[in-house]
Structure 1
């Protein structure tokens, strides 16, 4: 098996709030939920601290125990809580949170877990790819957004709208009828999308933060088979480079309205066959 990983912050000099790692038979990707300017948090730790701490603990839990991926995630959230419950207000709605994607080989199958809006792509032998992403956050955003108001990136109106939307997320985060993320509630792990696929049906699997899936699912510049072909032939760094080129061609979001001009981008490409 061959695993390639690339990760890049949204812009130079900024913390990368993504985390990715692999071990024999296991891949993990965490995408920390970046906070817009003006959003309060009850935590003294950064989003990047949360992402890499949760990711490292999940990697260990999924390797060293026989827990399901969902139970391993729940245990990891509990362990992160224990690390900062004495210094931070874990009840605060602005506490750091993250999306999670994990894939693990168990016997002759590949198990997966997807929580929130990062993406898992299963490259199937002789068939179309299967794309797995939790769209509950997108459904909430559709409820909150006014489609007739799309301020350009970099304007005060855009910044104010983004802050307002994220503040409104608190009424929907980790609640039935809303959306679920890894944060301070271990029970959120029970809401993850999980499943398994026979290994002999797969050529590869890709784990993508939403900053690395944009060319296919937001910009429409690639199909999923196109994206997998780039990963296979040129690797994750090339996918991120092409994403940056597209973002730079639309700096104010006039063509592709979005919350951030560029986002942290992380891709894990795991080839399961020689």
Structure 2
């Protein structure tokens, strides 16, 4: 499998709270949730959490042992929770959390896992792309975002409305009827959306954090077939460039109301699924 990645922090002087990484048979993308505007009960921070969790996931996926992705995620969450439960109140809803998206090639199958609102797009040859995302975060958030969307980004009113939005939504984190993210409880792994497809049915796959997927789902600058074509022609970095241009052209969120004027943006483009069997130097191009 060939994987091409691109990532960009929301602002150059801020840590990138996304994570993306790959082993020969799998790709992991995380989008950290920092609950901006609240007091965190973890001294390490969101970037630390996503990097530790991403590293734990990659270490397990590298074993290539065919275990269920939910079992791998549950173990990784437990490992990271154990790494800071003695210093941090990891059960508090304001502690760091992350979306999790995994794409794995396992012999002739392509497996996926999606927890929270990052996006996986499967490129089916000759058919419309299949878009996989866990919409429960947005379903909860839509109840509380009207005041936030009605005020311009960067204003005191927006900051206040954002804090109220966060306080209202975070009480639904990892609760029945709410939404599920990776945090301290390994049991949430069983709430992830999972599936498997024959590798032969898939031409490519793209994993995106919601800061990158906003090119489609917030800004409507392209549809998913156009995004796949753009990535194939110019690489995943071009998606981020266009997102940044749109953000810069609407810094107050008047055209596209949103919680963050700028957001961390990350993509991973996966192709050449037959490469594990192909001889070295065969020169295969992405189909």
TM over 0.5: yes
Alignment correspondent of 1:97: 97
Q: What is the CA deviation profile of residues 7-31 of structure 1, one whole-angstrom value per residue up to 9, with x for unaligned ones?
A: 1000111100000001111000010
* Stretches of structure 1 lacking an aligned partner (at least 5 in a row): none
Indicate the SS of the match to 1:143: coil
For residues 165 and 97 of structure 2, what CA distance do their matches in structure 1 show? 16
* Residue correspondence of structure 1 range 1-274 to structure 2 within 5 A: 1-37=1-37, 39-64=38-63, 65-146=65-146, 150-272=150-272, 274=285
Indicate the SS of the match to 1:144: coil
TM-fit CA distance, 1:170:
2.7
For residues 156 and 230 of structure 1, what CA distance do their matches in structure 2 show? 38
TM-fit CA distance, 1:148:
9.4
- 1:230, 1:239 within 8 Å by CA — same for their partners in 2? yes
For residues 16 and 35 of structure 2, what CA distance do their matches in structure 1 show? 13
RMSD, aligned α-carbons: 1.3
**Relative to structure 2, which stretch is displaced further, 209-218 or 63-72?**
63-72
Indicate the SS of the match to 2:252: coil
**Relative to structure 2, which stretch is displaced further, 207-216 or 146-155?**
146-155
Q: What is the CA deviation profile of residues 212-238 of structure 1, one whole-angstrom value per residue up to 9, with x for unaligned ones?
A: 111111111100011111111111111
Calculate the TM-score normalised by the size of structure 1.
Answer: 0.97
- 1:202, 1:272 within 8 Å by CA — same for their partners in 2? no
* Stretches of structure 2 lacking an aligned partner (at least 5 in a row): 274-284
Going from structure 1 to structure 2, the CA distance change for 1:95 and 1:31 (only over 3 Å counts) comes to same
For residues 146 and 264 of structure 1, what CA distance do their matches in structure 2 show? 23
**Runs of 4 or more consecutive aligned structure 1 residues displaced over 2 Å after TM superposition:** 145-149
For residues 184 and 217 of structure 2, what CA distance do their matches in structure 1 show? 29
Calculate the TM-score normalised by the size of structure 2.
Answer: 0.92
TM-fit CA distance, 1:91:
2.0
TM-fit CA distance, 1:149:
5.8
For residues 147 and 155 of structure 1, what CA distance do their matches in structure 2 show? 13
